[in-house]
Amino acid sequence: MKLSWFLLVTAMVCAMFMGKALAQSGKRYAEPVFDEVNVVSGIPYSSAVKEGQTTPTTLYLDFYEPQGDTLSSRPLVITVFGGAFVTGSRDFVDMVEYCTRLAKHGYAAASIDYRLLSLLNLSHSSLVRTAYMAAQDVSSSIRFFKAHCEEYRIDPSQIFLLGNSAGSIALLCELFMDEDERPEETFESPDLGSMHSSGFDEYAGISPAVAGAIPQWGGVISCDIIGAEEYVPLCMIHGTDDATVPIDSGFCYSSSLFGLMPYMYGSQTIANHLNNMGISDYGFYPFEGEGHAFYYTLLYQLNDQFDVCFDIARDFLFEHLNSTASLTEGNEDRIQVYPNPASDLLKVCAEEMVTNKPFTIVIVDVTGRVMMEMESFSQEVTVDISHWPTGVYSIRMERAGLCNCSTFVKR
């Protein structure tokens, strides 16, 4: 087992360096390799009640993918727009541009709706509750794609988040806020429930874990909600003169919402907190002299700073892709795992690895723990996963020097 695990880690490291070499030669994920993008608009991904209402509202997303792409398992970036939780939409120009460019680089991408607050219901309490609802909706979108990873050809272990302003606040809340860290306003009637309780029943219980996040000019209500045991890599972009969501700390949206939002801690303070915990896997990019959402012009068009922000995001994403994303292209038909998601029995098929030698299968969870290791001469193996925890698992198959990787979701 130790030898097999060593081989697994070695393969992943080799894949990482292979991915970097591909980037230098202008390959997928590092540079645009597709000319056209397909967009499917208005996909319902959740239904939830807005603040001040009693009936559920359907939430939608727009899905972007490279035209002509044949890859069966792709990394996904979910984008979350800004707008102070009272305005905005999934077709904001920056979200559309991020999704379009990422799809041309070979990613799948999605821009999502989330619940907004009507100005008729504006108050400190309602804004806090709506921010929490937005975080719940981010969680719903992650679990939606994991539940439908085969349909959208998504690698569920390689989902990333990218937000702007309020969207960044929502995604940071979704990533790190535990039940005992909820603001007291979220317990007011009606109680909003746990962070991951929203959305359609079909993906209830699926893990909302992601591979990383890119919060632009975002913040948290307390850095203490970010613990080392729950940390995922962050790439934080922020203007040093941001008066809307301060880069260090202050009242969020103080110039427009008159202190209705709570005191918040921005990217600089989050970076300091990570340093104090000994966490180095993060990026922090302070833009000297820039304010809030600085890649917009006064007419809400994108300026040259957007290109800089996109390049930062692209490089962060590429750096944090794992071996599956680097190796799947070209090997995608060598190993089949079904059904995916699975709840009881999982079938692993290796039709194109036909030799007279046995193959080795190793399955690990997201922490690297080996859940199963076996050898077999059969081209199809059935694995009982009924007693395994829900989550995303990686599977590696090796035979006669050929190595192939895939992932699956346990419901």
pLDDT of 153-199, one tens digit each? 999 889 999 999 999 999 999 999 999 999 999 999 999 999 998 88
Whole-prediction pTM: 0.75
Q: What is the mean pLDDT of residues 274-283?
A: 93
Distance CA 206, CA 139 (A): 10
Write the pLDDT tens digit of every residue in 287-327. Answer: 999 999 999 988 889 999 999 999 999 999 998 886 433 33
What distance, in Å, lies between the first and last C-alpha atoms of the chain?
A: 26
Q: Topology of domain 30-320, per CATH?
A: Rossmann fold (3.40.50)
Instruction: Give the start-to-end residue ranges of the domains of the chain.
Output: 30-320, 336-410
Q: What is the pLDDT of the chain when averaged over all its residues? A: 85
Q: Do domains 30-320 and 336-410 have the same CATH topology?
A: no
Residue 351 pLDDT level (bands cut at 50, 70, 90): low
Asked whether residue 349 carries a pLDDT value surpassing 50, the answer given is: yes
Where do runs of H (alpha helix) occur along 148-179? Answer: 166-176
Residues 408 and 308: their CA atoms lie apart, in Å, by 35
Instruction: For residue 303, report the phi and psi dihedrals to the nearest 5 degrees.
Output: -105, -170
143-162 tens-digit pLDDT:
999 999 889 999 988 999 99
Q: How far apart are alpha carbons 231 and 243 in whole angstroms?
A: 27
pLDDT greater at residue 310 or residue 399: 310
d(CA 137, CA 243) in angstroms, rounded, equals: 27
What does the alpha-carbon distance between residue 192 and residue 132 come to, in Å, rounded to a whole number? 8
Q: Where are the beta strands (DSSP E) in 267-315?
A: 282-287
For 96-121, what is each residue's pLDDT tens digit?
999 999 999 999 999 999 999 998 88
- Residue 360's closest CA among 395, 393, 385, 386? 395
Residue showing tokens 């996909």: 43
The whole-number pLDDT of residue 400 equals 55
Q: CATH number for 336-410: choose from 3.30.110.30, 3.40.50.300, 2.40.50.100, 2.60.40.3080.
A: 2.60.40.3080
Tokens 């896997």: give the residue. 281
Place of tokens 């994920």: 29
Q: What is the pLDDT of residue 256?
A: 56
13: three-class secondary structure by DSSP: helix
Of the candidates 136, 82, 134, 90, the one whose C-alpha atom is nearest the C-alpha of residue 110 is 90
**How far apart (Å, rounded) are the C-alpha atoms in residues 332 and 335?**
7
Q: Which residue has the tokens 């700390």?
A: 249
Query: Mean per-residue pLDDT for 24-48?
Result: 87
pLDDT in tens, 54-64: 999 999 999 99
91 three-state secondary structure: coil
Q: How confident is the model at residue 19 (pLDDT cuts 50, 70, 90)?
A: very low
Contact (CB, 8 A) for 130 and 170: no
